[in-house]
Amino acid sequence: MVGQALVRHLSQATNVELVLRTRQELDLTQQTAVQEFFNHTTIDEVYIAAAHVGGIYANQQYPVEFILNNLRIELNLIEAAFNAGVKKLLFLGSSCIYPKLAPQPIPESALLTGPLEPTNEPYAIAKIAGIKLCESYNRQYAHLGIDYRAVMPTNLYGPGDNYHPVNSHVLPGLLRRFHEAKLNNAAVVSVWGSGQAKREFLHVDDLARACVFIQNLTPSHLNSLILPQQSHINIGSGQEVSIRELAQLIKATVGYTGSIVFDTQKPDGTPRKLLDCRLLNSLGFTANIDLVDGLAMTYTDFCRTHLSQEHIT
């Protein structure tokens, strides 16, 4: 999803030539394959959007895959990029790697200040390692012009999302569930947790704009605002809704007319997760896709790309 959004945005630039490979063409968990790719391809700049991701259920069921695959992807890419002489790189973290009970809104300085949310701890540890690896390359090889940056996106949604019925994140998972309930005339849709947990959502096209914006900042400007070991920048929408409110919004977007029940036997995850984006906003960037409009666009994309008549492909 993020990679597709970055391609959509970068392809509009006249001075950019995109170097792309599908997952089938290049397995990023394979060190030798990644190094060979960089050895035989001229690359000036790298955006690392690739990751092994999923919702609460997937994180709980497959913790080994979440830590191993994410470590492999980021270690292979960052090391191979450096070995190939790539000076500029942008690594995407995730807001779920902040401490479970971080202050709200969450400032960049909250990283590593408390225990992580247990349901996604392996994923969080891998992503933290990626950020710290970028910082370590900057500290050790600044004299070579190395400029590896990191951003911390909030919860994302939009075209190209994962709508798997079990392993998806909350927003696309609910979108599919409400759609299927509408098709089947189901009387009730069950939602995990109490509905009280709050989340911030950012449309993926806003994220793509922010990533390119941050990557294009001059090193002197950026370095005047960050610290060598606190270099990541939060990217959020500033809009926070409860899961109960989100379910109601998706219900209205889909046109489902039944009832919603909340399964309190299932976990809520982190109670609240709103990013402090004052640093990004001070640089002149703000998100511009409202959640209601973004949901409508996302549902249209879902229906166009994931449905065949009355069946989800």
Indicate the pLDDT class of residue 144, thresholds 50, 70 and 90.
very high
Indicate the pLDDT class of residue 309, thresholds 50, 70 and 90.
very low
Find out whether 238 and 200 touch, Cβ atoms under 8 Å: yes
Mean pLDDT of 44-50: 96
Does 148 have pLDDT greater than 50? yes
Query: Integer distance in angstroms from the first to the last C-alpha of the chain?
Result: 17
Token match 């409860």: residue? 242
Mean pLDDT of 105-128: 95
Smallest Cα–Cα separation from 133: which of 148, 122, 154, 146?
148
Active site (annotated) includes residue 62: no
Bridge partners for 74 per DSSP? none
Residue type, 36: E
**Interatomic CA distance for residues 128 and 119, integer angstroms:** 16
**Token pair of 10 as six digits:** 């970068």
> Who has greater pLDDT, 278 or 59?
278
The model's pLDDT over 69-97, given as tens digits with 9 standing for 90+, comes to 999 999 999 999 999 999 999 999 999 89
> Who has greater pLDDT, 89 or 14?
89
Task: Tell me which of 123, 137, 148, 256 is the catalytic residue.
Answer: 123
**Interatomic CA distance for residues 213 and 278, integer angstroms:** 15
**Interatomic CA distance for residues 227 and 291, integer angstroms:** 32
**Token pair of 232 as six digits:** 């990541």
**Token pair of 258 as six digits:** 């039944």
Q: How many domains does the chain contain in total?
A: 1
Indicate the pLDDT class of residue 191, thresholds 50, 70 and 90.
very high
Does 311 have pLDDT greater than 70? no
Does 150 have pLDDT greater than 80? yes
Find out whether 218 and 171 touch, Cβ atoms under 8 Å: no
φ, ψ for residue 234 (rounded to 5)? -70, 140
Mean pLDDT of the chain: 93
φ, ψ for residue 265 (rounded to 5)? -80, -15
C-alpha of 287 from chain center:
15
SS3 (DSSP) at 171: helix
**Token pair of 249 as six digits:** 């919004």
Which CATH number characterizes residue 261's domain? Answer: 3.40.50.720
Mean pLDDT of 3-30: 95
Indicate the pLDDT class of residue 307, thresholds 50, 70 and 90.
low
Look at the pTM and tell me if it is higher than 0.85.
Answer: yes
Q: Which pLDDT value is given to residue 58?
A: 83
Mean pLDDT of 133-144: 98
Residue type, 217: L
Does 167 have pLDDT greater than 80? no
Find out whether 260 and 249 touch, Cβ atoms under 8 Å: no
Q: Which pLDDT value is given to residue 163?
A: 87
Residue 160 is part of which domain span?
A: 2-312
Of the chain, the percentage scoring pLDDT greater than 70 comes to: 98
Find out whether 150 and 93 touch, Cβ atoms under 8 Å: yes
The model's pLDDT over 202-255, given as tens digits with 9 standing for 90+, comes to 999 999 999 999 999 999 999 999 999 999 999 999 989 999 999 999 999 999
Mark 112-130 as b/e (b = at least 16 C-beta within 10 Å): eeeebbebbbbbbebbbbb
